[in-house]
Structure 1
Amino acid sequence: MRDLFVHIPTILEPLGLSVVFNGIPTGSEKPNQFITFLEVSAKPNFEIGEKEIETERIIQLHVWSVSSYHHLVESIKQLMEKAGYERVLEYDVPYEEGESHFNRVLQFVFFDD
């Protein structure tokens, strides 16, 4: 099984942004753009007997930006798909008054053995 703490940041490293598991970047203020991620589910996809051979894993990325994030989102999709992930869901989180960043959610599935 892949270690997501290492695997996801490695895939997104070419973007040059903070990529944080299930939190926000630490520091005095948030960067203008950053990415957070978490695993939404991991379930057996293929078993032989009682041994799990393949696991379906759904990863959720949150793209945070103070301005337009269209190009960043497209770059993320390309990098994730090149690494073998399939995008299954994408949506904007409604912006609320007082928020500092816009938020785009991307979910990807991959099969891990």
Structure 2
Amino acid sequence: MIIVEGWIRLAPGGVEALQEALRAALETTRQEAGCISYACARDVLAPDMLRVSEIWADEAAMAAHARAPHTAAFMKALRNAKVEGISLKAYAAEYQSTILES
């Protein structure tokens, strides 16, 4: 399992400008084979920052996502959204445990 965590910092108004492209990317990516979880949320304490969280079944699924046409479309929208900083890191996960559940 591969976990991707990170952030995207945008210029003021950038989150709003990216919203439709982000919605399309989320909806499409969540249907991909090997996508366990795919989320992006605005940081409550930093409204121009998006927090990214992805979980992939394996590296092949993550690589297929990177090559997908909808990923290319989102990356184009991201380039036009005045990104001020970005950091996404992938981690190999060997352990999973439920911490809290309702």
What TM-score do you get using the length of structure 2 for normalisation? 0.46
Bigger helix share? 2
Bigger strand share? 1
**Greater Rg over alpha carbons, structure:** 1
What TM-score do you get using the length of structure 1 for normalisation? 0.43
Work out which structure has the larger RCO, using CA pairs closer than 8 Å and 6 or more positions apart in sequence.
Answer: 2
